[in-house]
Chain A
Amino acid sequence: MSSLMIYPLGETALVLQTNLAEQSRLIAMLRHFEKQHSAHTGYQMVLGVGNLTLRFNPLQQSAEDALLWLQQQWALSEMQVDEINGDTVEIPVVYGGNAGPDLEFVAEQASMSVQQVIEAHCTPLYQVLCIGFLPGFPYLAGLAPVLHTPRRAEPRSQVPAGSVGIGGAQTGIYPCSSPGGWHLIGRTALTLFDANANPPCRLQAGDRVRFVAQDSL
């Protein structure tokens, strides 16, 4: 049985809280919402990891109506979950050197060679759980446990766009330059967020990602 809780966040949002095992169902809810409803409901959905938040204008919609609607969407999502056909996107990455200044540190932590780390990072088919933190930043699930590395004691003030990093049990890609505390193991030339593209994000929740090692950007 799935655990489910819905609680308010202030007077303008409701949080639907379940767990990571239900992420595909939450993704189905978001996709269905974007296809069917986003323009005319007045609602906005924000996907998290194992949770989903519904924002609404309390002067236009009552919290009771929003709650009812959210419960209906959750019930419907059980049938929609099979319909998610996420893309599989290959991300070409140059590992180590200037592109990945922390690769050797990660290898030391894992008691592996640099080459083994690269192979371990390129093996899984990662799932995009949600997009957050920065425009276009994918939260990826599937990092091999041996590569889990605590965040840097001191975050870098500037991480270059395209950097591929490891933070704790997560791996991800910085779509734009930003401060960041993850260990940087490589970089991709692929644009993850392009304000002129439609949609602007290369990746969406529900997509799958595989990293492919290459020699130069």
Chain B
Amino acid sequence: MKSGHTAILQIEKPGLQTSVQDLGRPQGASWGLPIGGAADGFAIQVANLLLGNSLDAAALEITLGGFRAQFLHTTSFALAGADCQARLDGQILLPNAVYRGVKGQTLQLAAPAQGVRTYLALPGGIDVPVLWGSRSTLLSAQLGGWDGRVLHKGDLIAARRRDKLRPACAVAMPERGQIVRFIAGPQWQELGLEGQKNFTAQNWKVDAKSNRMGLRLNGNQLSMEIPIEMASHAVMAGTVQLPANGLPIILLSDAQVTGGYPVIAQIIQADLWRLGQLRPGESFFLLPVEQAEALSALARQQAWFKRLASAIATCT
């Protein structure tokens, strides 16, 4: 790959879907470009914090484990997100921690027992070109990241910074729980009391056809009291659409820029990361909250990152 830096990792097994992601590309909306970026924006930031990277550095997003790579040079690295019982030449690694990979060692991730996505960060972030302010891969349009595609066996990964010895450091991540909070959407009223109750009282199950664009939900179908025809409007990660079949779709980070289905809810920003870790067959509840709670949850999350950053700085 065109890169000024030396390759430090060779992919031996990419697993189901491994791509380069960061915090996304917010500026291309009027060209129809999805924001994209990590499906679990929380874990990728933790991985970067652990390594002393900037929060928007690019990392590998590994889907459901099954990943193997060899270190071509000695380097520190961090893993965060779904626990894949990672092993470094057979030695078991804790999740959400920094380690040192020695030249010749092999990093192996098994399938996680919980969660979907694991982030592998390298010093300074993964070295791929910036496209419109982001290094994230937009798989649907084959743009950005690693030539617009998922990683293949044999790909050589470079990092943007020379390795700096990092102190061993592990983080206790917040519990994901079974609840995802939302704010009522523009078409919430049209759902009627019965539909609203149906939406919040049931245990929704994630359908196998879910991907980075959206989570399809299975459960008791909802119906609008009055069917409505919608003009195309902006949608984004966390937007809950209700198609005519009555089964909601929650959009994820690769959400298209505009959509035409009624929007019954919007998942709060602080809980978006939970969506990125929900796996097919897993079930969860949706809890309505007010704007104020959404804002304080977001502020608390921000404060948690700040505390983590200063804790890491003191152990350096």
Please report A residues at the B interface, Cβ cutoff 8 Å: 7-13, 15, 20, 30, 34, 38, 44-53, 55, 58-59, 63, 130-137, 139, 175-176, 178, 193, 195, 199-201, 204-205
List the B side residues contacting A176 at CB < 8 Å.
Answer: 141-142
Q: Is A59 touching B143 in the complex (CB atoms < 8 A)?
A: no
Residue B256 CB within 8 A of the other chain: yes
Q: Is B302 touching A59 in the complex (CB atoms < 8 A)?
A: yes
Could you pull out 13 A-B pairs where Cβ atoms are within 8 angstroms?
Answer: A8-B183, A10-B267, A11-B266, A20-B231, A50-B231, A55-B234, A132-B232, A133-B257, A133-B258, A135-B31, A135-B138, A136-B31, A201-B31
Q: Is A44 touching B231 in the complex (CB atoms < 8 A)?
A: no
Chain B: CB-nearest residue to A204: B30
Taking the nearest CB of chain B, how far is it from the CB of A21, in angstroms?
Answer: 12
In B187-237, the 8 Å CB interface with A consists of: 231-234, 236
Chain B: CB-nearest residue to A46: B234
Task: Find A11's partner among B32, B141, B142, B183 (CB 8 Å cutoff).
Answer: B183
List the A side residues contacting B154 at CB < 8 Å.
Answer: none
How would residues 245 to 277 of chain B score, 1 for a CB under 8 Å from any chain A CB and 0 otherwise?
A: 000000000001110000100111100000000
Binds A, one of B48-56, B158-166, B291-299: B291-299
Distance in angstroms between the alpha carbons of A7 and B256 in the assembled complex: 21
List the A side residues contacting B268 at CB < 8 Å.
Answer: 10-11
Residue B140 CB within 8 A of the other chain: yes
List the B side residues contacting A52 at CB < 8 Å.
Answer: 234
List the A side residues contacting B26 at CB < 8 Å.
Answer: 44, 55
Q: Which of A59, A132, A201 has the most CB of B within 10 A?
A: A132
List the A side residues contacting B302 at CB < 8 Å.
Answer: 59
Q: Interface size bucket, B side? A: 35 or more
Residue B66 CB within 8 A of the other chain: no
Residue B173 CB within 8 A of the other chain: no
A-B contact count (CB 8 A): 126
Task: Find A133's partner among B32, B143, B183, B267 (CB 8 Å cutoff).
Answer: B32
Taking the nearest CB of chain A, how far is it from the CB of B159, in angstroms?
Answer: 24
Q: Is B233 touching A15 in the complex (CB atoms < 8 A)?
A: yes
Task: Find A46's partner among B141, B143, B257 (CB 8 Å cutoff).
Answer: B257
Task: Find B32's partner among A10, A30, A59, A132 (CB 8 Å cutoff).
Answer: A132
List the B side residues contacting A15 at CB < 8 Å.
Answer: 186, 233-234
Distance in angstroms between the alpha carbons of A8 and B292 in the assembled complex: 13
Taking the nearest CB of chain A, how far is it from the CB of B32, in angstroms?
Answer: 4
Taking the nearest CB of chain A, how far is it from the CB of B55, in angstroms?
Answer: 14
Q: Is A47 touching B30 in the complex (CB atoms < 8 A)?
A: yes
Distance in angstroms between the alpha carbons of A42 and B65 in the assembled complex: 36
Taking the nearest CB of chain B, how far is it from the CB of A188, in angstroms?
Answer: 17
Chain B: CB-nearest residue to A134: B32
Q: Is B256 touching A34 in the complex (CB atoms < 8 A)?
A: no
Residue B33 CB within 8 A of the other chain: yes
Q: Is B233 touching A49 in the complex (CB atoms < 8 A)?
A: yes
Distance in angstroms between the alpha carbons of A174 and B299 in the assembled complex: 41
Q: Is A44 touching B143 in the complex (CB atoms < 8 A)?
A: no
Task: Find A63's partner among B140, B142, B236, B291 (CB 8 Å cutoff).
Answer: B291
Taking the nearest CB of chain B, how far is it from the CB of A81, in angstroms?
Answer: 17
Given A38-B27, A46-B258, check contact A9 B231 (CB 8 Å). no
Q: Is B31 touching A9 in the complex (CB atoms < 8 A)?
A: no
Given A10-B269, A12-B269, A195-B143, check contact A51 B32 (CB 8 Å). no
Q: Is B236 touching A136 in the complex (CB atoms < 8 A)?
A: no
Chain A: CB-nearest residue to B183: A10
Further 13 A-B residue pairs, CB within 8 A, beyond A10-B239, A59-B302, A205-B30: A12-B236, A15-B234, A45-B29, A46-B29, A46-B30, A47-B234, A48-B232, A52-B234, A53-B233, A55-B236, A134-B140, A135-B143, A200-B28
